[in-house]
Structure 1
């Protein structure tokens, strides 16, 4: 099996097929991706091989997104913006990777907290800690929490776009505005007590 022999369009379709039906058979995966079982068999002869191929592609996508964002060296807000754009660009792989982690934990009857200790979440935590030290991010919130909040927003936005609940155009802005500006209006009605929602 040669991972690079499958183009991104087909790999994305296969990834989404498995995200939508995690227990789908090889034939069901092929049908959902719009190809024949014979074609899929030539790419990867077993369901396990398809998943391994896609997990490698998805892991590579996230590693590439982290590298291009330059989280360790660029100004925090610009780096975060690049990371979001890079992940969204290959959002099918991110969704697959996210779902694969859940399936792995459930199949192994493992601790769900393992989901928050991957190369991706660890890189995010390190990034937010660096931003806190630079005075960009609030220090009254743990860096681990900021990493989890961002990752959850990213997943929710991408998952919602794939399900048709939100428009796919502008996902980056949706995530960044919610994370960085929050959900409270800049100009509140006179009868709203700002002290109730002000950071403590």
Structure 2
């Protein structure tokens, strides 16, 4: 495992520990992720700095997931699938973001740029006839976020099996929850 992968795994573990123990001290978080208090203090000396670092990492991971999905050139269904797979890689950071979102503490331009890329992707899919046009591209972006967030949380709570999370999101986003007319 590379240093970058180790750092990502450590951050994901800390993010999940904060989700499961939102009021935990640094000592309790260190114990929860299996490191010494000194190791965690070297990573982030205060709880506030840890929250800031994880929030920034979450935004960066999200922006990277969008970039790596190549939405500018991807076919719509494949773009959605790749975007979901990329976002799911850091699902712990997504869970953390849901619980600890503080937009005033992050570089907002990254969030706006990421959102604009998704809006443009969904608009392009509408223009090519792949996505509905009676729902705005911005609304589809928000539906994507909502489905991603809630299904990752549902998995954590044991309500949805891990193996079905991405498939369910993709189906609901692209096809809705109605029975397909050919089988009704």
**TM bracket (short chain):** 0.7 to 0.9
Note the aligned Cα RMSD (angstroms): 2.4
Q: 5+ unaligned residues in a row in structure 2: which ranges?
A: none
1:4 shift after superposition: 5.0
Secondary structure of 1:170's counterpart equals helix
Corresponding position: 1:152 with 2:146: yes
Corresponding position: 1:79 with 2:73: no
Q: 1:6 to 1:100 in 2, by over 3 A?
A: farther
Q: TM-score, normalised to structure 2's length?
A: 0.84
Q: Looking at both structures, which has the greater relative contact order when contacts are Cα pairs under 8 Å and sequence separation is at least 6?
A: 2
Q: TM-score, normalised to structure 1's length?
A: 0.78
Q: 1:5 to 1:145 in 2, by over 3 A?
A: closer
Partner of 2:166: 172
Larger Rg: 1
Secondary structure of 1:71's counterpart equals coil
Distance 2:157 2:79 in 1: 28
1:6 shift after superposition: 5.3
Partner of 1:192: none
Partner of 2:20: 20
The equivalences for 1:34-183 within 5 A come to 34-101=34-101, 104=102, 118-183=112-177
CA contact (8 A) 1:121 1:148 kept: no
Deviates most, 122-131 or 153-162: 122-131
Distance 1:164 1:121 in 2: 29
Q: 5+ unaligned residues in a row in structure 1: which ranges?
A: 109-113, 189-200
Distance 1:90 1:51 in 2: 16
Distance 1:11 1:23 in 2: 17
